[in-house]
Every structure is written in structure tokens, then in C-alpha cells.
Amino acid sequence: MYRIKGKIDSTNAAEFEKELMAAKPAELDASELEYISSAGLRAILKLAKAVGDVTVNNVSSGVYEIFNVTGFTEILAVNKKLKEINVDNAELLGAGANGRVYRVDEERIVKVYNKISNPPEKIRREQESARRAFVHGVPSAIPFELVRVGDELGMIYELVDAKTLGSVVHNNPEKLREYALSMSALMKKLHSTEMEKDTMPDARMTLRLWADIAAKSDYYTKDDMQRVYDLIDSIPLRNTFIHGDFHPGNIMVQNDELILIDMGDASVGHPVIDLLGTYQLMSLTPKKNPNVAMRYLGMTTEEAVKMWNMFIRDYLGTDDDKAVAELEESLKSYALIRNLGGIVFSDVISDEKRRYFSSLIMKDLLGGIEKADLIIKAV
């Protein structure tokens, strides 16, 4: 990354342009840039024509105004310098695969993103998805400021006196059924919300990404992977809102109202894609690994499974234990697609064990594939 310093004006713009064209950087760091004139902007424009997309990062408010007024924010990716905040003494509200949520003060929380799985463009996409969902009546927290937290990025949300649904249920077990039904109502709200055509990605893409990771390894045969891709492609496409990571750790409770956060995987599609993630994190995985529920949901395995059982019965509109069990088995095949790719990433077990567990996952997935469409027909 090329760092721009001081002032760039007619006295040094020629030298600035010469340095840029020699280095041809795709990213410019403007954290120490105090001023830039039209001559300096022309040098950056020449660079952009030579290398293609150019990103200017860490721009101060004053310098950003220059880029904005001259129209450069429309032709270049110009990002303001981020405010830095410290969460060392902040209350941790919850943690998940994508990051941690802290309370900053009485009115705000911050979601701190794990660097590996959350590049800046994904975070900004989440910001746009949350705004689009809010406009369509989905109860969601609005992310209003991207910040830096140490060497990670964070998003500030305005949430007064809000806690994760998991922690609320854990501390108020007598309200478990009440919140399970509220959670079901919230998911029904999402899955009845129509989005404009071509404004959000196809929810099946997330499953394809996990399958692609699995297919690049040598753990699975081509024939088995083709059956997995066929299963993904068999999911009907709908234009209804999908959260993509719907569980009690990504739902905040504010004045007894449930409000969604973490819109990084928001998309449109069939409800099964939301259900598979909820089932996996609230029932399927915690039964095998009891630490998962408390780590990601803020509640015990017993609470998570009990809440899932109440939630899914209300969502499906049935108390028939046999019917629910059959639909959960149907859902399981879709849920296990994530595990195919996830086991490839695992760095806590040996390659021998990864191969062993990957064979079990694939066998389990394919074993229920013939009845997988039961859940599709039910929802």
C-alpha cells in the first residue's frame, strides 16, 4: 500500500504522479494526507486508468469532502479514516463464528469481526443488507458506523439496553417458551417478506461455497460431491428474505422486542436455508458438543435444544412428534453441507481424523438425501 503524506498541490503534484506511476499501487493510504489539489487528483485518476480499480483508505473528513465534491467518490473507492475504539473493559454480550458483540455504552453495541472470514467488502455488504431489511419492515438493528478495534474492524449499532436472546433466556428460564414463540414469529416475518428482484444474492450460494471448499479437498469423491450439488440445486428459489445465520446469539432483545443483527449472509431464497442453520446450532451440533451452545448462543445445551423443540413446532404448526422428527431428519442433510467444508478447515485434529469424520458426515448426509425434500414441501 502506498502512503500519501502532507499536502499534494501544484508544487509537488508532478513528482507525486511520477512516484505513483512507478509504483502503480492499487491501494493508497491517506491517513497522513492533509490536503490534495486538483493536480493531485489528476495524478490519482491517471493511476486508476493505468491499473484499474484504485482504493483510497483512511481519508480524513476534510480530505474526503474534496474527493466527494469533485466527484471522485463516484469513480474511486474512497474510504474515510475509521474511528478507533477500545473494548478491553467492555461487556461481552455474545460471540460467534463471525465475531464478538460488546456493549460500548448505554446506547450502543459494537460487533467486532474476525479478520479471516470478514473482509471489509463483506462488512459493508452487511451494512447495506441491514438497511434494506429495515426498510422492508424486518426488525433489525441499523449499523451506522464502521470503526477499528485494535487490528480488527467493528460495526456500531444503536441498541439501548439490549442483550442477546440466548443470554436473556439463560438468565430467565421461565420465559423460554415465550421467547421460543417470539423467535418463531420473527422467522415467519422474515420468510413472508418479499424483496425486490435482483437486489440480494441467491441464498443457495452460501451452501455452494461450502460445497466448493469440500470439492477442492481430496476427502470426497466426485460422484458424492455431484449428489451434494444436485441437492443444493433442487432447493427452489424464492424472493423472500433469508437472514442466513438465524439463532439466539444473533437476535437482540430490547424492551421485549426481538431485533436481528449480523446480516452478513442476508439473501433471498427458500426458508429451508434459514432453518438448516438454526437447527444445526441449536440442536444438531450441541448434542454432540455441549460447549457449542454456551459459546455461540449464550445458553446451555439443554436450554438450546428445548427452545429449538418449541420453536420448530410453532414454526411448522404441528405438535406431532413423529412428523417433527421426520422433518428434522430431512433438514439434517441440508445442514450437513456446511460440515463438509467446515471439516476441511479444522486445525484442531489430525488429517487422519479429518478424513475419518468427513466420511461419516458424507455418509450421514447421503443417507437422508432421498427424504430431504420433505422439509422443502413442508415450508
| pLDDT tens by residue, 2-61 | 899 999 998 999 999 999 999 999 899 998 999 999 999 999 999 999 988 889 988 988
- Give the mean pLDDT of the chain: 90
The grid cell for 230 is 444436485
Cβ neighbors of 256 (< 8 A, separation 6 or more) are none
Contacts of 62-71 with C-beta under 8 Å, sequence gap 24+, read 62/35, 63/30, 63/33, 63/34, 63/35, 63/36, 66/35, 66/36, 66/41, 67/36, 67/41, 70/38, 70/41
**H or E segment and range at residue 328:** helix 321-345
Distance CA 270, CA 130 (A): 19
Task: Give the highest mean pLDDT range of 141-145, 271-275, 286-290.
Answer: 271-275
Give helix then strand counts, H and E, for the chain: 15, 15
Question: Which among 353, 356, 358, 352 is positioned nearest to 339, based on CA atoms?
Answer: 358
Average pLDDT over every residue of 351-365: 92
Where residue 267 falls among pLDDT bands split at 50, 70, 90?
very high
SS3 269: coil
CB-based contact 164:93 (threshold 8 Å): yes
What is the model's pLDDT at position 118? 62
What sign results for the dihedral spanned by CA atoms 14, 17, 19, 21? negative
> Do the beta carbons of residue 177 and residue 185 sit within 8 Å?
no
Least confident of 51-65, 113-127, 307-321, 343-357: 113-127
Could you tell me if 259 and 189 are in contact, meaning their C-beta atoms sit under 8 angstroms apart?
no
Whether the predicted pLDDT of 117 surpasses 70: no
Q: What is the mean pLDDT of residues 183-200?
A: 93
Residue linked to cell 413446532:
313
pLDDT interval class at 162 (50, 70, 90): confident
pLDDT above 90 (res 98): no
Q: How far apart are CA 253 and CA 144, in angstroms?
A: 19
Give me the sheet containing 251-254, strands edge to edge: 163-164, 251-254, 257-260
pLDDT band for position 275 (50/70/90)?
Answer: very high
Question: Which whole number is the average pLDDT over 236-256?
Answer: 92
Percent of the chain with pLDDT over 70: 98
**HEC profile for 119-181?**
CHHHHHHHHHHHHHHHHCCCCECCEEEEEEECCEEEEEEECCCCEEHHHHHHHCHHHHHHHHH
In this structure, what are the phi and psi dihedrals at residue 215, rounded to the nearest 5 degrees? Answer: -65, -25
pLDDT value at 366 more than 90: yes
pLDDT category at 289 given cuts 50, 70, 90 is confident
pLDDT at 12: 93
Looking at residue 302, what is its pLDDT?
A: 96
Is the predicted pLDDT of residue 227 greater than 90, yes or no?
yes
Cβ neighbours of residue 205 closer than 8 Å, sequence gap 6 or more: 267
Per-residue pLDDT at 330 = 94
Global pTM reads: 0.78
Confidence of residue 197 (pLDDT cuts 50, 70, 90): confident
The model's pLDDT over 57-87, given as tens digits with 9 standing for 90+, comes to 889 889 989 999 998 888 888 988 888 899 9
Task: Answer yes or no: is pLDDT of 128 > 90.
Answer: no
Distance separating alpha carbons of residues 40 and 70, to the nearest angstrom: 12
Strands (E), 196-275: 241-242, 251-254, 257-260, 267-268
- Beta strands per DSSP E along the chain: 2-8, 27-36, 55-59, 77-80, 83-84, 91-95, 99-103, 108-113, 143-149, 152-158, 163-164, 241-242, 251-254, 257-260, 267-268
Burial readout 108-136 (b: 16 or more C-beta within 10 A, e: otherwise): bbbbbbeeeebeeeebbbbbebbebbbee
Task: Tell me which amino acid residue 191 is.
Answer: H
125 within 8 A of 176, measured Cβ to Cβ: no
Q: Which phi and psi (to 5°) does residue 246 adopt?
A: -85, 110
Confidence (pLDDT) at 116:
61
Least confident range from 18-27, 35-44, 114-123, 154-163: namely 114-123
Q: Say what the pLDDT of residue 16 is.
A: 93
pLDDT at 94 over 80: no
Query: What domains sit in the chain, N to C, each tagged with a CATH number?
Result: 2-81 (3.30.750.24), 91-158 (3.30.200.20), 163-378 (3.90.1200)
**167 pLDDT higher than 90:** yes
Phi-psi region at 43: left, alpha or beta (left = phi > 0; alpha = psi -120 to 50) = alpha
For residue range 325-348, list pLDDT tens digits in order.
999 999 999 999 999 988 887 777
Angle between helices 222-233 and 204-216 (to 10 degrees): 180
